[in-house]
A and B are shown apart, each in its own frame.
Chain A
Amino acid sequence: MGVEGIGARVLRKEDKRFITGKGRYTDDMSVPGMKHAAFVRSPHAHAKITGIDVETAKKMPGVIGVLTGAELKADGIGNLICGWMIHSKDGTPMKMGAWSPLATDTVRYVGDAVVIVIADTKGQARDAAEAVDVSYEELPVVVKTAEALNEGAPQLHSEAPGNLIFDWDIGDEKATNDAFAGAAHVTKMDIVNGRLVPNAIEPRATLGVYDAGEDHYTCWTTSQNPHVARLVLSAFYNVAPENKLRVIAPDVGGGFGSKIFIYPEELICLWASKKTGVPVKWVADRTESFLADAHGRDHVTHAELAFDKDNKILGLKVQTIANLGAYMSLFSSSVPTYLYATLLSGQYDIPAIHANVKAVYTNTAPVDAYRGAGRPEASFVLERIMETAARELKVSPAELRRKNFIRTFPHQTPVIMNYDAGDFDATLDAGLKAADYEGFEKRREEAAKRGKLRGIGLSCYIEACGIAPSAAVGSLGAGVGLWESAEVRVNAIGTIEILTGSHSHGQGHETTFAQLATERFGVPIESVSIVHGDTDKVQMGMGTYGSRSGAVGMSAVVKALDKVEAKAKKIAAHLLEADEADIEIKDGNVRVAGTDKSLPWFQVALAAYTAHNLPSGMEPGLKEGAFYDPSNFTFPGGCHICEVEVDPETGVTEIIQFVAADDFGKIINPMIVEGQVHGGLAQGIGQALLEGTHYDDTGQLLTASFMDYTMPRAQNLPSFNIMTTETPCPSNPLGIKGCGEAGAIGSPPAVINAITDAIHNNNLTMPATPQIVWNAIQAAK
């Protein structure tokens, strides 16, 4: 490892522009003639549209256009789709209700877009939007996950009778029932994983520009995957063919999954730009973000875990209702199925698992992937029930887990996943030691003297990231492959550009991806630039989500670097009159091993481009591309330990310590990994303690601002005690696993396990606000 290579704590190259306000976000983009859009959105959770009168609005000052869904349909713009096919257990395909980008006959959640208004200024667009007169006939509403399937519940889509999208099974039901039949102990629990609003600091935004001269569209957008956006906009929404559509995702201020999906607004602004002849920009305000960004989680689950007389797990049964909201967002179907139930084996050797997932429609915002996407829900179910089982069996929660750990790899679980590597004892031991788990009872006694209830909770999570092998996900219903691409361009004087299909919206790719080239060629990190986020610059790529940029995106870079290195060595061998096998590249020099014969790196690059003296038959240039398709998911895992003190008088929980011992395999930049863990823990603890999404019975979102929706603040969080162990991933060339989501996946059950331990009441929902904890304390009295 050099000072800037793999493993080095290189400061983030991108931070200079971010912390000096020089980042360039979609809302910073401006083009001549640009106008501003506002959307008329449904104030009702469920209603028939009986009329749309736009005449007054059209006459308002500055108004350029007022456009409806009927016009959109007439122009052949398609409905929004879900790109992952799930089949119910009876073999029938999922039942997807039509989602028109602008509602024409029915609105199904508060915030559903109905009309777009384009005007000279944003204020004028809003004024005119208020003047649009939409007549509604209100319909009955279903909001709660657990009520969507009730007989007589209001119906959202005629395509999905009973609001049931799919009724999906995984695992072997008979084998699981047989395992339960021989159980010495069964732990049963009802578990709710509440709904979250993503709240990226930069709201969604888009700028659609139609160039009539070229019949070409440009879409600036807040996307985690601009190429996927172009593919979907072209292939499914009929906006324009791919070669006539450029999608640019410039600096993006956080995504957490919510900016994977293609929303109505991007495609409407593109279409409206052609329709009105002006570039159209839309920037969500915070209320729109709350209402109309895809939300996360929202599961209602019953789980049962069976043990033999020696406390070895025999089987797990899980039944989940997953709320997908009013429409199926782009990857919504994959989240509560293949990203959730496939992780239910956790770190444990469980012989038989059966899970059933029913996905339902409700009159709420669409639900899709949000940091962790399915895996936090799985770890919450499993780690809550493991801790509960330990309490029922009166054994140490740590030792019950240890007794059931998987220790031989590869390990085939009963739910598809094949774990390639792991060392769960190592992370558990590291966590227990760091938390002084053994000394806890003394601390509990000391706290009791101060009138505080002290508790400790564990979570030994596993997750599958680095998504994903294309053929495997294709066989499971994915509409796309999940490989990644890269191109390494060595310029004539040796500087390097790495073009990647991954997209950085906070992850630090401009630093970590550059570290790979620095490690390989010994060039200073300043001379390596990362190019991403523009379909005109970068070849097809799949973008950033599912902690895949390291494991998949970087692996593609490594493949391209391999090719560049091979060609550079050929050139150097020719110039130095040596055998190719004897050439080594080190510290910015290319030399013949064991001799003093060497060339500076830039001379090899220059030779490639002058082409005055290349090996016979070699093409000029030093630029290589690669596509990398992973052979497996990667499986980060770890042990999170949370210790809390609860004030019994008020129900306030204070986190005294939070230990995270994670195994991310090989680490490229420890500082950036720590940042990812800190952010993930903040989100996980935010879910556990603070973030609650409330719709009232009429479907109005009560928590539609930061005055009512509690985001984690620094004062809510302890100073984290984090550490890593390293079991290299055998499935990719760098041995890396992915760390972006682990904090949000592992932490919520550790927090809730700690609080329930403190208050001696296991019946506690998230977020465990002071009111909810106080209620639970009263109930336990």
Chain B
Amino acid sequence: MYETQYHRAASVEEAARLMGEAEDGKFLAGGMTLIPTMKQRLASPSDLIDLRRIEALKGVTVDGRNVRIGAVTTHYDVSTSEELAKICPAITNLAGHIGDPQVRNMGTIGGSIANNDPAADYPSALLALDATIITSQRSLPASDFFIGLFETALEPNEIIVAVEFVGPDRAAYKKFPNPASLYAMAGVFVAKSGDNIRVAVTGAGEGGVFRLKDAETALAGNFSPSALDSLAVDPDVLLSDMHASADYRANLVKVMAKRAVAEITNRPM
């Protein structure tokens, strides 16, 4: 790791100010991607502005079916929120299967979506849940927030404050993990609220998280796994690497989507 200046911000405003003053600063949340990257000398920010001690960014709030998750809430805290589990068990389950216990105790939802790793779990959930990303400057829907691989709509000094969504009627997340890293090689989040069905895929798309609209259409008429039997996932828009070819990912997307639907339809209401 190269030398860097560490700052602990007490408020969102202070964090933004510190970033403005830094030559080449980075916001630090859980650091589960940034710190290893710095240790490998692949990133060398002049300044680290730590957001983790900002109280306003912490915690899960459930009000009726409205959910708000503070940006520096750890995966562990999301996964163990009993209130949230009653509204949306799919997302607590998702959080409980990110990485390993060390990652879940350090990593945060804000850090994960700001990094927008194409194989991260949360982006699929937020896209399928039609979540709103609240930042220090604005609110924007997940569909406008996630732009591409490791790319988001965030401006340089913009800080994610929270994520908000309305709990769906039913939802499920199925992930096929990369055997080495345990990141998603194909992760499918299916959310159903009334007639509104949204299916989002992570880990597989060459442009990052995306909605699988053919699956949404098929499920709108018949919400069952068999509705996806004839689903054709286009391998041309999928990642291909030494761990999984695009064809294999296309298969996994379909299988995970069917399994997510099966979990929903098999689960008692």
Contacts and interface: CB of A to CB of B under 8 A. Distances in A.
Interface of A: 123, 126-127, 130, 287, 649-651, 690, 692, 694, 702-703, 706-711, 769-771, 774-775
A771 B180 contact: no
Contacts of B1: 123
A708 B241 CA distance: 11
Contacts of A708: 180-181, 242-243
Nearest to B1: A123
Contact of A770 (B3, B40, B179): B179
Given A287-B40, A649-B255, A710 B180 contact: yes
Interface centre among B179, B244, B251, B252 (most CB of A within 10 A): B179
Given A708-B180, A710-B179, A771 B243 contact: yes
B248 interface: yes
A717 to B, nearest CB: 13
A702 B242 CA distance: 9
A770 B249 CA distance: 11
Nearest to B248: A771
Contacts of B2: 127
B242 A709 contact: no
Interface of B: 1-3, 40-41, 176, 179-181, 242-245, 248, 251-252, 255
B10 to A, nearest CB: 29
Contacts of A771: 243-245, 248
B251 A774 contact: yes
A753 to B, nearest CB: 21
Contacts of B251: 649-650, 774
A186 B251 CA distance: 38
Nearest to B255: A649
Given A126-B41, A774-B251, A650 B176 contact: yes
B139 to A, nearest CB: 34
The 4 closest A-B pairs by CB, nearest first: A710-B180, A707-B181, A710-B179, A649-B255
A694 B242 contact: yes
Nearest to B252: A650
A709 B245 contact: no
Nearest to B183: A707
Contacts of B180: 690, 703, 706-711
20 contacts: A123-B3, A126-B41, A127-B2, A130-B41, A650-B176, A650-B251, A650-B252, A690-B179, A692-B242, A702-B242, A703-B180, A703-B242, A708-B242, A709-B180, A710-B179, A711-B180, A770-B176, A770-B179, A771-B248, A774-B248
A710 B244 CA distance: 14
Contacts of A770: 176, 179
Contacts of A694: 242
Contacts of A711: 180
Nearest to A710: B180
Contacts of A123: 1, 3
Contacts of B255: 649-650
Contacts of A126: 41
A772 to B, nearest CB: 9
Nearest to B243: A771
A774 B40 CA distance: 34
A660 B236 CA distance: 45
Given A690-B179, A710-B180, 7 more contacts: A123-B3, A130-B41, A649-B255, A690-B180, A694-B242, A707-B181, A771-B243
A563 B40 CA distance: 56
A579 B251 CA distance: 83
A16 B179 CA distance: 33
Contacts of A706: 180-181
